């Protein structure tokens, strides 16, 4: 049996390579781009890009928010005298829906553009350019993620407002109660998930 010759330096170099996509990309600014490109893993890069699915989810939320505009226009948008509560709900709903759609457009555009240019670079075999571009877009990914969370929150509250405007008297509160409870519980769970991800996944790369 022939035993391949492996130098000590080669073993140390292999051991020094990052073992995860986040660690690999995070190590680029601190190391050389040429060395990173030499150890580039196309599968890991594609998996990392698939993780930027915020734009797809936000597009669906934006579409649903547009359907809720029927509760904020026409007769429903008119402020009525001696109906202060409904007037406040209508104004709140209009502001939330406008914010939700604007945030949704921003989030979808940001992650779509990053995905298009990243895949273009990979398709052309420009791995070094992809690494440089992806790292340079870190702040935009942060803004996009925060926009995604804000879009989700504004839609959740908008849905409750729409329910309150659809029904009257005490019935509206019984109808909206499940949405309120699930929304509050969801917020607490989202917060815990974000904390776990920040601690366990993004602590080394500080990347969303």
Q: Average pLDDT, whole number, for the chain? A: 76
- Reported as a pLDDT band with limits 50, 70 and 90, residue 101 is very high
- Reported as a pLDDT band with limits 50, 70 and 90, residue 154 is very high
More confident residue, 15 or 145: 145
Q: How far apart, in whole angstroms, are the C-alpha atoms of residue 115 and residue 134?
A: 9
Answer whether residue 87 shows pLDDT above 70: yes
Q: How far apart, in whole angstroms, are the C-alpha atoms of residue 105 and residue 59?
A: 7
**73-82, 124-133, 147-156, 171-180: segment of lowest average pLDDT:** 73-82
Burial degree of 194 (CB within 10 A; 0-12, 13-18, 19+): middle
Burial degree of 38 (CB within 10 A; 0-12, 13-18, 19+): exposed
Three-point CA angle 197, 199, 200, nearest 5°: 70
| Token output for 27 | 């190590």
Q: Which residues, 6+ apart, have CB-to-CB distance to 66 below 8 Å? A: 101
Answer whether residue 79 shows pLDDT above 70: no
Answer whether residue 64 shows pLDDT above 70: yes
**11-15, 95-99, 145-149: segment of lowest average pLDDT:** 11-15
- Reported as a pLDDT band with limits 50, 70 and 90, residue 2 is very low
When pLDDT is averaged across residues 30-39 and rounded to a whole number, the result is 48
Answer whether residue 25 shows pLDDT above 50: no
Could you write out the DSSP letters of every residue in 162-195? HHHHHS-HHHHHHHHHHHHHHHHHHHHHHHHHHH
Phi, then psi, of 6 in degrees rounded to 5: -125, 125
Answer whether residue 146 shows pLDDT above 70: yes
When pLDDT is averaged across residues 154-177 and rounded to a whole number, the result is 88
Answer whether residue 77 shows pLDDT above 60: no
Answer whether residue 51 shows pLDDT above 90: no
Helix axes 84-123, 127-136, angle to 10 degrees: 160
How much is the pLDDT for 90? 85
Answer whether residue 21 shows pLDDT above 50: no
Write the secondary structure of 68-92 as one string of H (helix), E (strand) and C (coil): HHHHCCHHHHCCCCCCHHHHHHHHH
């Amino acid at each position: 049996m022939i035993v391949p010759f492996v130098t000590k330096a080669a073993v140390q170099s292999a051991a020094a390579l990052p073992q995860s996509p986040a660690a690999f990309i995070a190590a680029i600014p601190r190391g050389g781009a040429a060395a990173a490109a030499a150890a580039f893993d196309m599968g890991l890069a594609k998996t990392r890009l698939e993780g930027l699915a915020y734009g797809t989810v936000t597009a669906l939320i934006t579409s649903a928010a547009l359907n809720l505009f029927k509760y904020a226009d026409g007769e429903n948008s008119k402020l009525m005298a001696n109906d202060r509560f409904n007037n406040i709900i209508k104004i709140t709903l209009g502001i939330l829906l406008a914010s939700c759609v604007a945030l949704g457009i921003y989030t979808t555009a940001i992650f779509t553009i990053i995905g298009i240019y990243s895949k273009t670079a990979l398709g052309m075999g420009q791995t070094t350019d992809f690494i440089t571009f992806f790292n340079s877009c870190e702040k935009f990914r942060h803004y996009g993620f925060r926009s995604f969370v804000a879009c989700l929150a504004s839609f959740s509250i908008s849905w409750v407002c729409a329910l309150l405007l659809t029904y009257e008297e005490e019935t509206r509160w019984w109808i909206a109660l499940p949405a309120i409870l699930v929304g509050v519980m969801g917020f607490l769970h989202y917060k815990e998930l974000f904390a776990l991800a920040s601690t366990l996944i993004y602590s080394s790369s500080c990347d969303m």
